[in-house]
Copies of this chain bind each other. A is one copy, B any other.
Amino acid sequence: MQESESGRRVTLADVAELSGVHTATVSRALNPAARLKVAAETVRRVEAAAHALGYVPNVVARGLRKRASMTVGVVIPDLTNPFFPPVVRGIEDYLQVHGYTALLANTDEDDDAEEALVTSLLERRVDGLIMATGRHGDRPVLRRLQASGVRTVMVNRDASPLPFPLVTGDDALGIAAAVAHLHDLGHRDIVHIAGPLDLSTSLVRADAFTAAVRARRGIRGRVIEASALSVMAGSEIAPFLLADSPPTAVVASNDLLAIGVLRALKAQGRSCPEDLAIVGFNDMPFAEDLQPPLTTVHVPGQAMGTAAARLLLDALAGDAPGAGAVVLPTSLIVRGSTGPVRR
A59 within 8 A of B: yes
A105 / chain B contacts, CB cutoff of 8 Å: 92, 96, 101
Copies of this protein in the assembly total 2
- Residues A59 and B123 in contact, CB atoms below 8 Å apart: yes
Enumerate chain B residues within 8 angstroms of A2, measured Cβ to Cβ. 144, 147-148
Instruction: Find out whether the CB atom of B125 lies under 8 angstroms from the CB atom of A106.
Output: no
**Contact among B89, B103, B263 with A106 in the assembled complex (CB-CB below 8 Å):** B89
- Select from chain B the residue with minimum beta-carbon distance to A262: B289
Cα of A106 to Cα of B291 in the assembled complex, Å: 31
Chain B residues lying within 8 Å of A3, measured Cβ to Cβ, are: 147-149
**Shortest beta-carbon distance, A89 to chain B, in Å?**
5
**Interface status of A172 (Cβ within 8 A of chain B):** no
**B6–A149 CB distance below 8 A:** yes
Known contacts A289-B290, A293-B291: A124-B149 contact under CB 8 Å: no
CA distance A119 to B56 in the complex (A): 8
Q: Could you say which residues of chain B place their CB within 8 Å of the CB of A104? A: 88, 92, 102, 104
Count A interface residues, CB 8 Å. Answer: 57
Interchain CB contact under 8 A, A106 and B92: yes
Instruction: Indicate which residue in B64, B93, B290 contacts A290 across the interface (CB closer than 8 Å).
Output: B290
Which of A88, A106, A124: most chain B CB closer than 10 A? Answer: A124
- Residues on B with C-beta less than 8 A from A186 are none
Q: What are 16 A-B contacts defined by CB distance under 8 Å?
A: A3-B147, A5-B147, A6-B149, A56-B119, A60-B124, A61-B64, A80-B86, A82-B285, A84-B85, A92-B104, A92-B106, A101-B105, A104-B104, A259-B286, A263-B289, A291-B291
The 8 closest A-B pairs by CB, nearest first: A291-B291, A2-B147, A59-B123, A5-B149, A79-B85, A104-B104, A59-B124, A289-B290
